[in-house]
Amino acid sequence: MKITSIITCGAIYGLTFFSNSQEELAKSMARGKELYKESCITCHLANGEGVKGTFPPLAKADFLTKYPEKSIRAVKFGMSGAIKVNGVDYNNAMPPSGFADDEIADVMNYIRNSFGNKNTQPVTEKMVAAVKEK
Amino acid sequence: MKLQFKQPIKLLLILAVVATSGLLMSHCNISPNNKELTANNLKLETVVTGLNMPWSMAFLPDGRVLVTERGGKLRIVNGSQLDPQEITGIPKVYYRGQGGLLDVALHPNYKENGWIYISYSSPKKEGEAGDDNGANTALMRAKLDGHQLTNIEHLYKASPNVRGGVHFGGKILFDNKGYVFLSLGERGQKENSQNLSKAQGKMVRLHEDGKIPTDNPFVKTKDALPEIWSYGHRNPQGLVMHPTTGTIWAHEHGPQGGDELNIVEKGKNYGWPLITYGIDYDNSIISDKTEAPGLEQPVIYWKPSIAPCGMTFVNSPKFKEWNGDLLVGSLKFQNLEHLVIKGNKVVKKEVIFDKIGRVRDVKQGPDGNIYVVVESTGAIVKIGPKA
């Protein structure tokens, strides 16, 4: 009896926590979408496909999954030089977004869960704050 | 019989000579010794590096160069040295997205009066209209004393403040008749480009002290802002005057496939977003019309968009064959475009200096060379003829 109630409580707690965090993620993504439309869409386009050879894609981009920290750093501090994304070479420059850390978390959550990307583990403000310019 | 035989040979010989000389001449035209100016007989030199997000430059009469950094610093370049000491007195800027410290330009009589004009994204101040935490483009002037701006005068601020980091315009132009023009982007609210009561998507014309001229086109129009010179713009970031005719040319960032080059005239409507050659960045249709009565057509439009930024008319003994032509910078393709101008038309377009980086500013220097501010490399590069 005791054990069952512990398990039930645990399950309820876990579910609530999980659904809460998923709800948080959804809210963060919604805020991120607005920021994406403001600052990212002109180069990476609405579907995240970018322009082959000029602006790298975000949609199903191996770079995003391989280098989550580099991706955050790019949004925070800008990025330039040669990179390879999904087998295609890019040598361009992205200016820093000027977003606050919580906004960078939002736009990362949107990007990491849109255009065919899926990452239920959310990016938090704390994680963004920990990323330094190098 | 003999004659009949000889004549065709003579004819053939003449034809052969003509054909050969023709061939030789055409060969001459593509030989490197010809007079035609191409990117091949120009050289590119890096003048200075180490700038952080440079946006614009102005040439001081003593040979030094003022450079704005979008993050909010005004810097001095002395020869090939970036002065480590920044200039103080720049107000707080709204550094977000495309916003920040923008253009710098010297008054045409700088030598006499010392006025430096600066545009920037200005955060909302108390009592100003618009969104909290918003911003819009402002124009100030000041004098330089050592590393300090003095005599600071805030001349103009576009109203209302809008939240968000897009479309500040910000280019300054003097017309040498006592007026200063400032280009204003629509801050991401396209419908307001057509709204004469808001300073979004407009060119404004001011006296050099910031007062509004009484002969501006909408001074007597009810509810219209008197500073407006032209409207229906999206985000103009190239603004120059033709060296001989005095006409004002501007390019603007359009939607996808809709960047435009326009000749800007008093009171005219350049159509955004009622007409456009582009579609929105989320692929939606903005307008199914590319032209309509009462709305100006661009001189040219760019499809695909090049994200034009910076522009200069060439008027230099070092570029004789290009005099009267335009050089336009591209943020997107990281190159310069040379537009051959005949009258009010672009008759030819060519890419020169591909992959030099995100071009923010293009200006002809006092020495007749062309200088380019490159955002991505933090550099100023010089283009001049090979010796």
pLDDT digits (tens, 9 = 90+) for B50-76: 999 999 999 999 999 999 999 999 999
Q: Mutating which of B131, B282, B283, B376 best tests the A interface, going by the most A Cβ atoms within 10 A?
A: B376
Q: Check if the beta carbon of residue B280 is closer than 8 Å to that of residue B218.
A: no
Domain count, chain A: 1
**How far apart, in whole angstroms, are the C-alpha atoms of residue B152 and residue B266?**
30
At B7, which helix (H) or strand (E)? helix B2-30
Are B97 and A93 in contact (CB < 8 Å)? no
Interface of A with B (CB under 8 A): 37-39, 41-43, 45-47, 54-55, 78, 80, 91-93, 95-99
**The two three-digit tokens of residue B182, written as one number:** 């400032």
Give the pLDDT score at B26.
43
Q: Per-residue pLDDT averaged across B343-356, rounded?
A: 95
Give the pLDDT score at A120.
85
Domains of chain B: 51-385 (2.120.10.30)
Q: Active site residue: B167, B251, B253, B338, which one? A: B167
**Omega prior to B304 cis, within 30 of 0:** yes
Average pLDDT, chain A: 90
Give the pLDDT score at B12.
53
Q: Check if the beta carbon of residue B115 is closer than 8 Å to that of residue B106.
A: yes
pLDDT band for position A7 (cuts 50, 70, 90) = confident
Give the pLDDT score at B3.
45
Give the pLDDT score at A16.
64
Would residue B225 be called left, alpha or beta, if left means φ above 0 and alpha means ψ between -120 and 50 degrees?
beta
Burial class for A13, CB neighbours closer than 10 Å (0-12, 13-18, 19+): exposed
Query: pLDDT, tens digit, for every residue of B67-117?
Result: 999 999 999 999 999 999 999 999 999 999 999 999 999 999 999 999 999
B358 to chain A: closest CA residue: A93
Give the pLDDT score at B361.
98
Average pLDDT, chain B: 92
Q: Using a CB-CB distance cutoff of 8 angstroms, which residues of chain A are in contact with residue B358? A: 92-93, 95
Nearest beta carbon to residue B164 from set A38, A80, A93 = A38
SS3 (DSSP) at A54: coil
**The two three-digit tokens of residue A103, written as one number:** 């906004």
SS3 (DSSP) at B36: coil
Give the pLDDT score at B213.
98
Q: What is the least distance, in Å, from the CA of B59 to any CA of chain A?
A: 25
Q: What is the least distance, in Å, from the CA of B55 to any CA of chain A?
A: 12
Q: Using a CB-CB distance cutoff of 8 angstroms, which residues of chain A are in contact with residue B52? A: none
Q: What residues make up the domain containing A57? A: 2-130
Query: pLDDT, tens digit, for every residue of B279-294?
Result: 998 889 999 999 999 9
Q: Using a CB-CB distance cutoff of 8 angstroms, which residues of chain A are in contact with residue B355? A: 91
Query: For chain B, what percentages of helix, strand and coil (3-state, to nearest 5) are there?
Result: 10, 40, 50
B167 is catalytic: yes
| Residues 6+ away with beta carbon under 8 Å from B15 | none
Supply the CATH number for residue A70's domain: 1.10.760.10
**How far apart, in whole angstroms, are the C-alpha atoms of residue A95 and residue B273?**
27
Q: Per-residue pLDDT averaged across B144-150, rounded?
A: 98
Higher pLDDT, B46 or B5: B46
User: Residue B157: beta bridge partners?
Assistant: B138
CB pairs under 8 A between A and B: 52
